[in-house]
A and B are shown apart, each in its own frame.
Chain A
Amino acid sequence: MIRGLLLSLLCLLVLSCSLRRSNPLDPVGNDEIIIPLPVTNVSATAQSVSGTNIRNVKINWSPNSSNDTDGYYIYRGLAYNSSYARVGEVGRVDEFIHLNVQPNRPGEGYYYKVSAYKIYKDGRLEGRASFPPTWVFVPG
């Protein structure tokens, strides 16, 4: 009887305990926070600067509504499942040119992802990145 009571109390204690959602950008339980929608229709095109070995990549996407987006982050990865590094950020536009992309990897391909962000007083909240990543071949 007492053991059962103690175990019930323990279960109640465990279930009632949870960590505080103290991140001001956390959308859970915070109606003022709007999550930027994932960016769609991402395309990437390699560009060569004539007379040089400089190669650029132009990335385009469909812009999100201005209600949930104040800008975009652009990420690049060397493989589909690799880690992606942020290569740039832009305002409320629909293209980005990644300059001089491959001084050390001539004739290779890259994967690009784009995500939207919204600015709040406590910082920027970034939405989900575009999926799947967009592959582009950059000639040597």
Chain B
Amino acid sequence: MKIYLIALLLFAALFLQPILFSAPLRAQSSFDLVQFSDSTKYGWRDLSDRLDFRADFTERQNLLQIYNIESQSVHENMLKSAIFPGWGQFSTGHFTKGQILLGSNLVLFGTSLYFYDRALGYHRSYEKATQVDEIEKFYKKAQEPFQYSVIFLGFATLFWAYNVYDVIGSTQEYNIALWDRIMRENYRRPIRLTPQGVEIEF
């Protein structure tokens, strides 16, 4: 008897659950069918306008796909330039700028390293010195190239930071030029390259 009762309760719970616990369904009170089907709200005067718009839109979408494939990411180029100064600029085709930035960074970091090495040499002599005058002499001798090293390292860091900052503009410039080129090439040529294939306009 108990088993039947439990089975009945489970059965009832199974069927009543959607009714008891779900949100009640309500019909949408008002739907403006006229406004929904009004094509003039987008500035289309007639069906021909709408079809022209659609054709143009599809074409732009295709061009955008090409642009997305060929364009460069700002973040990626920033990372490149951060790892190796000028790399991002080389990627965007700004070779002169890339060479200048690479050269400047190499010279500044190299000079800083050179002075640091000299400072370390004198500092080693300072650490070995046991005579008062020599201790002071070698410390002063080490201090001077060390400060030069810090100055050059500071400038190198500024140049490095500028190089990373500059690549943002270079990449944007590249992408703008790329979009212009895609547009120009697409509208000039009777034969167009699209992601779907080749289109020939007669």
Please report which residues of chain B, range 113-163, place their CB below 8 angstroms from some CB of chain A when the two chains form the complex. Answer: 119, 123, 126-127, 129-133, 135-136, 139, 142-143, 146-147, 150-151, 154-155, 158
- Do the beta carbons of A127 and B151 come within 8 Å of each other? no
With A23-B126, A26-B139 as known contacts, state yes or no: A14 contacts B133, CB within 8 Å: no
Mask: chain A, 2-25; 1 = CB below 8 Å from B; 0 = not = 000010001001100111011101
A34 to B133, CA, bound (A): 14
Residue on A with the closest CB to B138?
Answer: A23
Q: How far is the CB of A4 from chain B (nearest CB, A)?
A: 13
Residue on A with the closest CB to B122?
Answer: A19
Residue on A with the closest CB to B147?
Answer: A14
B interface residues, Cβ below 8 angstroms from A? 119, 123, 126-127, 129-133, 135-136, 139, 142-143, 146-147, 150-151, 154-155, 158
With A10-B154, A123-B130, A126-B130 as known contacts, state yes or no: A25 contacts B135, CB within 8 Å: yes
Chain B residue numbers with a CB within 8 Å of A124 are 130
Residue on A with the closest CB to B149?
Answer: A17
- Do the beta carbons of B147 and A6 come within 8 Å of each other? no
Chain B residue numbers with a CB within 8 Å of A127 are 131-132
A128 located at the interface, meaning its Cβ lies under 8 Å from any Cβ of chain B in the complex: yes
A75 to B130, CA, bound (A): 15
What are 9 A-B contacts defined by CB distance under 8 Å? A14-B150, A17-B147, A18-B143, A23-B139, A25-B135, A35-B132, A115-B131, A125-B132, A126-B130
A interface residues, Cβ below 8 angstroms from B? 6, 10, 13-14, 17-19, 21-23, 25-28, 35, 115, 117, 123-128
Residue on B with the closest CB to A35?
Answer: B132
A30 to B60, CA, bound (A): 75
Q: When the two chains form the complex, which single residue of B126, B127, B132, B146 contacts A17, counting CB atoms closer than 8 Å?
A: B146
Q: Chain A interface secondary structure, helix, strand, loop or mixed?
A: loop
Chain B residue numbers with a CB within 8 Å of A26 are 126, 135, 139
- Do the beta carbons of B131 and A19 come within 8 Å of each other? no
Q: How far is the CB of B136 from chain A (nearest CB, A)?
A: 8
The 4 closest A-B pairs by CB, nearest first: A126-B131, A10-B154, A17-B150, A23-B127
- Do the beta carbons of B158 and A6 come within 8 Å of each other? yes
A123 to B131, CA, bound (A): 11
- Do the beta carbons of B123 and A19 come within 8 Å of each other? yes
Q: How far is the CB of B167 from chain A (nearest CB, A)?
A: 18
Residue on B with the closest CB to A26?
Answer: B135
Chain A residue numbers with a CB within 8 Å of B147 are 14, 17-18
Q: When the two chains form the complex, which single residue of B130, B132, B136, B146 contacts A19, counting CB atoms closer than 8 Å?
A: B146
Chain B residue numbers with a CB within 8 Å of A115 are 131
With A13-B154, A17-B150 as known contacts, state yes or no: A22 contacts B127, CB within 8 Å: yes
Chain B residue numbers with a CB within 8 Å of A35 are 132
A124 to B129, CA, bound (A): 10
